[in-house]
Amino acid sequence: MKGENQLLKAHLHDMPCCLRVSGEDAYSFLQSQFSNDLPKDQDTFVRYGLWLNVKGRVLADSFIISSESEEFYIFSEYSEASFIKEILDAHIIADDVIIEPIQLIGSIFVNLPAADLLSLELGLIKEAADRATFNYINTNLGTGALFPRKRLEEEGFVFCFRDIATYSLCKKVLEESSVHWMIENEMHLNRLTLGMPLVPDEIGPNDLAGEGDLVPSAVSLTKGCYLGQEVVARLFHLGKPQRQLFVMTFDEFNERESIQLPLNITVENRSLGELRTLYQDTNDSNRWYGVALLKVRHLERVQSEFRLADHSVDSLCRLSEFSLSDI
């Protein structure tokens, strides 16, 4: 089962997206734009979801975190703050809504076992665990913001820092502890084993949420209208989409520099899909994993006939079924 590995894990992101949303209409405005349901009957909450266009295409992803001061925070590790703000600004008409960028130096995610271990060094983790909100806290290392993060089977805490000194101190504590510090490739492979596509690199503005297995985990099928909702609901009830994300494995591959991504996957001049990202195995430098959006009806041809820099596909599976232990 995915997520059973209980290693103490941590990873960092430099300059993540953070926006503060306030005003009398802040909740209703976000609810009308965000793909997931924002609970009205909870004082505090954290929700992962998507920002879609009117055609249901995926523009960006983020968490929305409530705060005890009746403001909301938008946090994303990969989507840009200026882009999400531009999306939202375009839909503010007469709403009493203010959207402000919050400049963060960096953020550090620690999973639950690591958070337990580091509670003495970082302070207040356990107290914050029951408060699903954007907390400004004073830790033993300095001041930062903290919120609990859960997406699929990955659960832990995100620490956000506005000053480089506190950020550097926290990184130093993690590096000197028994927590496993994940490098970028390892972080992405861990994400893939949890079935999480990267927005917008693997699922983006030309793609539907269902093509990345983001329905219903990042999308509400029961709440009222939001941008792109009709398209999402219609395609969900029609069944599986014609395209889906797959993970390709290439053994004895050492020609990454020659590959320009995204790469159109063609067999006999017919386009079968697109290779979006490539990640090197952390234990075997000649093994690479590629994430591709493929037309489902052509899968057999992709695996048997497609070659990447003269290397064949050694294995192919849906993103939702990918496991490093199966390779």
Residue 218 sits in the same domain as residue 294: no
With a cut of 50, list the residues of the chain below it in pLDDT. Answer: 1-6, 125, 129-130, 327
Residue 152 sits in the same domain as residue 133: yes
pLDDT of 324 reads: 85
Whether residue 3 is contained in a domain is answered as: no
pLDDT of 140 reads: 56
**228: its two tokens:** 């792109």
**How many CA atoms within 13 Å lie on the side-chain side of 192?**
29
pLDDT of 134 reads: 66
Q: What CA–CA distance (Å, rounded) separates 62 from 178?
A: 29
Sign of CA dihedral 248, 321, 63, 11: negative
Q: What CA–CA distance (Å, rounded) separates 103 from 96?
A: 23
Residue 20 sits in the same domain as residue 59: yes
pLDDT of 130 reads: 47
pTM strictly above 0.85: yes
Number of domains in the chain: 2
Residue 81 sits in the same domain as residue 227: yes
Residues in Cβ contact with 69 at an 8 Å cutoff, skipping those fewer than 6 apart: none
Residue 170 sits in the same domain as residue 295: no
Cβ 180 vs Cβ 189: under 8 Å: no
Strand, helix or coil at 169? Answer: helix
Size (the chain), residues = 327
Cα distances from 61 to residues 3, 73, 203, 233, 242, in angstroms, run 22, 13, 10, 18, 22
Residue 65 sits in the same domain as residue 171: yes
CATH of the domain at 276: 2.40.30
pLDDT of 3 reads: 40
Residues of the domain holding 53? 8-176+208-241
pLDDT of 127 reads: 54
